[in-house]
Amino acid sequence: GAVVSQHPSWVICKSGTSVKIECRSLDFQATTMFWYRQFPKQSLMLMATSNEGSKATYEQGVEKDKFLINHASLTLSTLTVTSAHPEDSSFYICSASSWDSYEQYFGPGTRLTVT
């Protein structure tokens, strides 16, 4: 099956700093990538959808200026959490799909802790 990787797998940063998370499709071209956030003991909530070469579409309630998403190539999307605060601490998961696939392939997730 298709493989999606995320880097880093975990990161700790200080409040007020920015952190970038990478999502890569390793063996297929990802025309669409999705970013999810999961708080402890809760399900995944979609944050935004990005198509390669286009601006991301954000879900209601997600601050686009705080969560910057770039999908500049068919194998890489990045999520930058700007001016992070402790309440941004969460598990961030990306997924990717190609134009000819029914399925979304999920990355292993990145655990962000903001101190």
Query: Mask 75-114, x = binds another protein (CB under 8 A)?
Result: ----------------x-x-x------xxxxxxxx-x---
Binding residue for another protein, selected from 21, 28, 34, 77, defined by CB under 8 A: 34
Smallest separation (angstroms) from another protein to the CB of 102:
6
Closer CB to another protein, 1 or 86, in the complex: 1
| Beta-bridge partner residues of 97 | 32
> SS3 for 61?
coil
DSSP state letter for 96: E
> Where are the strands (E) in 15-89, listed by range?
19-25, 32-38, 45-51, 57-58, 67-73, 76-81
Applying CB under 8 A, does 44 fall inside the site for another protein? Answer: yes
- Side chain identity at 50, as an amino acid letter? S
Instruction: Tell whether residue 60 is a contact of another protein (CB under 8 A).
Output: no
Shortest CA distance to 55 belongs to which of 46, 64, 44? 64
Residues near another protein (CB under 8 A) are 1, 6, 34, 36, 42-46, 49, 91, 93, 95, 102-109, 111
